[in-house]
Structure 1
Amino acid sequence: MTLSTHVLDAALGRPATGVGVRLEALPGGELLADATTDHDGRVRELALDLAAGSYRITFDTGGYFAATGQQGFYPEVAVTFVVTDPGEHHHVPLLLSPFAYSTYRGS
């Protein structure tokens, strides 16, 4: 199973470059990957070969807001999800603004 993410800054209308992203296995919080979004707001291969189970992606939104001169309400966004079919690609995007965010299972 492969895992990717994409962060878009809805307030500025562009990809969120330089967002720190951590992937942890649950329970326990074992760190599996640590990355930063690229110029297109993407981490194309956050993880490879994940097994079925629960995981958490944490986005360092506070660091991103500080770097872009924005005052944000959420210093981080944590998205917990469950992998049931490790043969599939999983994509967890984040649509971000200083006072709101949303996510979904992408493709």
Structure 2
Amino acid sequence: MSTSPTTSHVTTHVLDTGSGKPAAGVAVTLDMLDGERWARIAAGATDDDGRVKALGPERLDSGTYRLGFDTGAYYAAAGTETFFPEVTLTFAVSEAQPHYHVPLLLSPFAYSTYRGS
């Protein structure tokens, strides 16, 4: 019996805009703000297409969350200097939204993000 993989409530992908290719192998963490401290929910890494589809549960409670990207290790493996050894993206989750996609567009000396679909 085969099981189909599920998609988590929060997904991400990383595009290396310097090379124009997906950033494979970037370590990613998902944390939730619990009172005044952050609690780790899940960890993973981008696949060959630069995506993490199974990062955490299928449903998250409303609240504040953050994605952490280990960009320093990614660029070190490529032998490239980077100004941002890590990127942290903090965002709000509402139970009314069925899915959150939070992409990261990355280069050695800049990054940007947006609310994806």
Q: Aligned pairs, how many?
A: 107
Matches within 5 A, 1:51-90: 51-90=61-100
Aligned-residue RMSD, C-alpha: 1.2
Instruction: Give the aligned residue type for 2:38.
Output: G
After TM superposition, list the pairs within 5 Å mapping 1:1-107 onto structure 2. 2-27=9-34, 28-47=37-56, 48-107=58-117
Q: Report the identity percentage.
A: 54
Supply the AA of the counterpart residue of 1:3. V
Partner secondary structure for residue 64 of structure 1: helix
Scaled by the length of structure 1, the TM-score of the pair is 0.95
The answer (yes or no) to whether the contact 1:49–1:86 under 8 Å persists in 2 is no
Residue 18 of structure 1 aligns to a residue in which SS? Answer: coil
TM-score normalised by the chain length of structure 2: 0.87
Gaps of 5+ in 1: none
Which structure has the larger Rg? 2
SS at match of 1:46: coil
Higher strand share: 1
Deviation at 1:85, TM superposition (A): 2.9
Whether the 8 Å contact between 1:23 and 1:57 is mirrored in structure 2 is yes
One-letter amino acid of the structure 2 residue matched with residue 59 of structure 1? F
Distance 1:31 1:86, change over 3 A: farther
